[in-house]
Structure 1
């Protein structure tokens, strides 16, 4: 049974009911607005990540010329960072995938597209090849994914090819050239010969090193390119020897550096007065050639496992898994993944632009980084170490191979934003 009450319009009863209805509607409206404002205020503390799993990919060379320096060790370092974060971000599990691009930009691009479309990867780390980095950066930008270049070195990644979702974490060709040249060029180290790997990284490195050496009143006595992953450097080294350089700069990386350095010694290029400058070198390579040969080399490092207590503590944990200390690249992958997870937690999202914004707001602090700023163009302002190989007499153990000569502040070697040509921060100082 339905009870109906009839009230005529204009009567006191009608007006009372109308006023009561209006009061109820007003109260409901205020309650709704309060609920909306409360939800908006509480938003950042609520779990808004909708993915069942946050997937990140470590993409690098797993099987070839750069595999010892980054490779599997970088994947392990990324997993350590995830584990140290509790394995989850805002309650969502984090999974690490390993992708082997085999130093082929087309393969790297294909792997990146599949990782995004099929595996729903939110971020890419390491890369370890400039050509692959340039391709993956464009794909990541178009799909709003984060990409953090650790081992790739081209300064174009935060310059003309920059991306609002990209970051360069460890070094670049500009800073490597400026740091090494300024540390070495003097009255006894004026003449440089450049042995350069023939792909994007080598070309950029040669251009930057030539500019910096000449700026410091040094000279380039010669320059020659070699194929990636070659086994015979004889003809190239004979050209270097003919110019009688003070500095032999090996503008290559990975196994290419090891082979060219060994053959330089065999060919007698490394006479008493010749210093070897290595823009990119790792503790694994120093170990591979031994203290007798590495005592002649000078290079830059973002991390050295025996630098301080924090460095030694991380190295001890990493060594439990890899049975050797980490390279600077592997340590930097840990650093990058750790900071990315902080960015995801702060943004409460895996949206690339949103996460990168938070990564730039939060200072970078870890065992190898102290209060560093990730700039608007994506370049991390990282101080670097100048190191030199110890002599056999100085070395006290299997991995006691380097001595730190100096620390170079980031501001003195990293290219200013206004000189980089990054379009989305054009005009920034």
Structure 2
């Protein structure tokens, strides 16, 4: 990694409403400033669903909080993790050691998230994972300073696998992104599938950023599967679904199982191809008046409704700032204690909670892509077909293997 690459990994985001020279911070705030970093995929296969949209949402949260906490100004920086653990870890290390960042949010790649959470544990700094899905973050890799905020691969798999199998999809072939996220998603989906009496008839792994899935789809078509479980995300997921249509798998009775799908993915695929596809999410912009109100504000800045990652960034940053306010300090241990004892309530979460293993418990939703004729506008793409209560959606605390659980 060269110096130019590393320096390109983080850029200060000016917040015109936040001026560090105004006033004096209370003594409980280290360095007189609360500094938040957003470290995400800004330029790769996940940029559309996290990226600068996450930065917009974090900035909205800071401004909604008033730009200060306990008398101290709040600053925001952001960086591009480039979907490389070495790059993400280098940026995080520099932020923690040199730039005095108090907490890092986002971490939208499972390999990067695991590496940064290990570093945060060592440095006794807070990390809040928004978009990475691996359940190892709250299992063997859990941290007293780590938070897995929005979703995880266990919750995604349980909802989607159950719905697909109820529709007759019992024989699965997996196409899996070959890194920590994909491996975790396939493992969780396989466990759910077998628990319901389903069968895995084959699988193949593809590098992150693959563009031609023809060889994988040929193997899937010849495997006897009636479902292709897609353990991939972002542009990779979009390409697999589109190429399934081009290869005629749907005409042969083989359906896609979307193990991680978001609003922007459905838009990119188009309802002609995506119609009827079911998947599990933590948020949809058109659920109720509160979700619509936030979405309208966000869209005025970013040009479109938020994904579940982008929406949940607002709640994560707000909850963190509330904890600092309640603790009277930005020191990691007392802030984490307040984050755990304070219920999570915002426009997308009702009475959520943060467990000792770092898992946030919130309701999840089984979504279905609409028929083209049902869409009333450009982003009217989905409908909520089922609410999955938080206490049913996530892995039981005792089953994760987190060393913090006694």
> Quick check: TM above 0.5?
yes
Residues 271-280 or 81-90, more deviating: 271-280
Question: 1:387 and 2:367 equivalent?
Answer: yes
Shift of 1:250: 0.8
Counterpart CA distance in 1 for 2:352 and 2:253 is: 37
Does the CA contact (< 8 Å) of 2:281 and 2:366 recur in 1? yes
Counterpart CA distance in 2 for 1:275 and 1:238 is: 14
Partner of 1:92: 72
Paired residues for 1:284-303 under 5 Å: 284-303=264-283
Does the CA contact (< 8 Å) of 1:276 and 1:298 recur in 2? no
Partner of 2:50: 70
Quick one: which of 326, 350, 353 aligns to 1:373?
353
Shift of 1:246: 2.5
Counterpart CA distance in 2 for 1:273 and 1:82 is: 49
Partner of 1:362: 342
Does the CA contact (< 8 Å) of 1:275 and 1:296 recur in 2? no
CA offsets per residue over residues 139-179 of structure 1, 9 Å max, x none? 11111111111100111101110000001111112222222
Shift of 1:113: 0.7
Question: 1:412 and 2:392 equivalent?
Answer: yes
CA offsets per residue over residues 225-262 of structure 1, 9 Å max, x none? 11100110000011111124332211100100111111
Counterpart CA distance in 2 for 1:305 and 1:186 is: 27
Partner of 1:261: 241
Shift of 1:123: 0.3
Counterpart CA distance in 2 for 1:321 and 1:374 is: 30
Shift of 1:187: 6.5
Partner of 2:8: none
Counterpart CA distance in 1 for 2:229 and 2:212 is: 17
Partner of 1:26: none
CA offsets per residue over residues 35-70 of structure 1, 9 Å max, x none? xxxxxxxxxxx7522422211101011011110000
Partner of 1:25: none
Counterpart CA distance in 2 for 1:410 and 1:218 is: 24
Partner of 1:205: 185
Counterpart CA distance in 1 for 2:231 and 2:284 is: 21
Question: 1:80 and 2:60 equivalent?
Answer: yes
Does the CA contact (< 8 Å) of 2:28 and 2:330 recur in 1? no
Counterpart CA distance in 1 for 2:225 and 2:294 is: 39
What value does the CA root-mean-square deviation take over the aligned residues?
1.2
Quick one: which of 210, 229, 233 aligns to 1:249?
229
Residues 177-186 or 65-74, more deviating: 177-186
Question: 1:324 and 2:314 equivalent?
Answer: no
Does the CA contact (< 8 Å) of 2:30 and 2:330 recur in 1? no
Partner of 2:5: none
Counterpart CA distance in 1 for 2:75 and 2:297 is: 20
Shift of 1:122: 0.3
Counterpart CA distance in 1 for 2:98 and 2:244 is: 47
Paired residues for 1:228-239 under 5 Å: 228-239=208-219
Paired residues for 1:162-241 under 5 Å: 162-186=142-166, 188-241=168-221
Shift of 1:180: 1.5
Counterpart CA distance in 1 for 2:254 and 2:314 is: 36
Shift of 1:212: 1.1
Partner of 1:342: 322
Q: Secondary structure at the match of 1:358?
A: helix
CA offsets per residue over residues 168-227 of structure 1, 9 Å max, x none? 111112222222112221362211111100001111111111111011001112111111
Question: 1:134 and 2:139 equivalent?
Answer: no
Q: Secondary structure at the match of 2:203?
A: strand
CA offsets per residue over residues 348-368 of structure 1, 9 Å max, x none? 111112111100000000000
Counterpart CA distance in 1 for 2:244 and 2:253 is: 14
Counterpart CA distance in 2 for 1:188 and 1:156 is: 30
Shift of the 87–272 alpha-carbon distance from structure 1 to 2, 3 Å rule, reads: farther
Counterpart CA distance in 2 for 1:74 and 1:98 is: 10
Shift of the 187–317 alpha-carbon distance from structure 1 to 2, 3 Å rule, reads: closer
Task: Name the TM-score, length of structure 1 as normaliser.
Answer: 0.87
Counterpart CA distance in 2 for 1:285 and 1:413 is: 23
Paired residues for 1:109-128 under 5 Å: 109-128=89-108
Q: Which runs of 5+ in 2 are unaligned?
A: 1-25
Question: 1:105 and 2:82 equivalent?
Answer: no
Question: 1:401 and 2:368 equivalent?
Answer: no
Counterpart CA distance in 2 for 1:127 and 1:198 is: 18
